[in-house]
Amino acid sequence: MKDLINKGTVVDVRSPQEFAGEHFPNAINVPLEQVQQKVNEFKEMPKPIIAYCRSGNRSGMAVSMLKQAGITDAVNAGGLDDLLLKAK
């Protein structure tokens, strides 16, 4: 997972309030409800796209949306706590 994080883009799909409370270092915040509208921005981001949320549910939905839009190099990292553990 460290290699993916180092070469890709970490995206927090939680709300701006959740993101402000705590987030993964260098993550960008794109709330789930904005993922569809920002597909073209995602296409320009370094791959892979590593999405996370609180539990893995919203990030799973975000990854599905990205894959349907043709961005196949997207992974669901689960919840923030999971990602922090995997990145060690």
Q: Which residues are catalytically annotated?
A: 53
Q: How far apart are CA 70 and CA 29, in angstroms?
A: 21
